Amino acid sequence: MSDLSELYQDMILDHNRSPRNFRAMPDATALAHGHNPLCGDNVTIYVKLEGERIVDVSFEGSGCAISKASASMMTAELKGKTREEAETLFERVHDMLTREAGTFVDIEGLGKLAVLSGVSEFPARVKCASLPWHTVHTALEGGETVSTE
């Protein structure tokens, strides 16, 4: 795939234009900052856990359409999931983004996140999409600053 419209799908453009859960969360129980020193992208992920369950998740920051859409869709997907389910999803998204070009990707269960599968064809942009995921992973593990370098 190397078509422009397959990378910048409508859903990605929509989440970029109107990001979901794009706000600070004063009562977050965990948060982490993510930074890509190569391009200067910044993201902060806020998580509110009740026991093992993620009851709320939000983000703030600045970045390109791919990173913003990835963060926005991620927050929508993670709300209501357990910590363990979130970690499993993190692994699957990570595999989808970093797979060898042209190899098969199992998108079942990924839902809307499958629209990000085209990013793997653009090595320079993989980190844009994976930064929010690495950051939420860090938040769930205790929280600190994560860097994609």
Partner 1 sequence: MNTTSVTDAGATALDIEAIRAEFPVLDQQVRGRQLVYLDNAATTQKPRQVVEEIARYYYEDNANVHRGVHTLSQRATKSFDAVRRKVREFVNAADEREIIFVRGATEAINLVAQSYGRSFIGAGDEIVISEMEHHSDIVPWQMVCEQTGATLRTIPFNDRGELRLDVLAGMLSERTKLVACVHVSNALGTINPIKEIAAMAHAHGAVMLVDGAQAAPHLRIDVQDLGCDFYTISSHKMYGPTGIGALYGRRELLEKMPPYQGGGDMIASVTFEKTEYNVLPYKFEAGTPNIEGVIAFGAAIDFFERIGIERIAAHEADLLAYATEKISQIPGVTIIGRAANKASVLSFVLEGVHAHDIGTILDFDGIAIRAGHHCAQPVMQCYGIAATARASFAIYNTRQEVDALVAALAKVKEVFG
Contact set for partner 1, span 117-136 (CB under 8 A): 122, 124-125, 128
Query: Within positions 71 to 110, which residues make up the interface with partner 1, using CB under 8 A?
Result: none
Complex with partner 1: residue 29 or 42, whichever CB lies closer:
42
Percentages helix, strand, coil for the chain (3-state, rounded to 5) are: 50, 20, 30
Helical segments of the chain, H only: 4-7, 10-17, 65-78, 83-98, 126-140
Nearer to partner 1, 65 or 76 (CB): 65
If one asks whether residue 55 binds partner 1 (CB under 8 A), the answer comes out as: no
Minimum distance between the CB of residue 67 and partner 1, rounded to whole angstroms?
Answer: 8
Cβ-proximal residues to 142 (8 Å cutoff; 6+ apart), any chain: 30
Contact between 119 and 129 under an 8 Å Cβ cutoff? The reply is yes
User: Which residues form the interface with partner 1 (CB under 8 A)?
Assistant: 2, 4-5, 7-8, 13, 16, 38-42, 62-66, 122, 124-125, 128
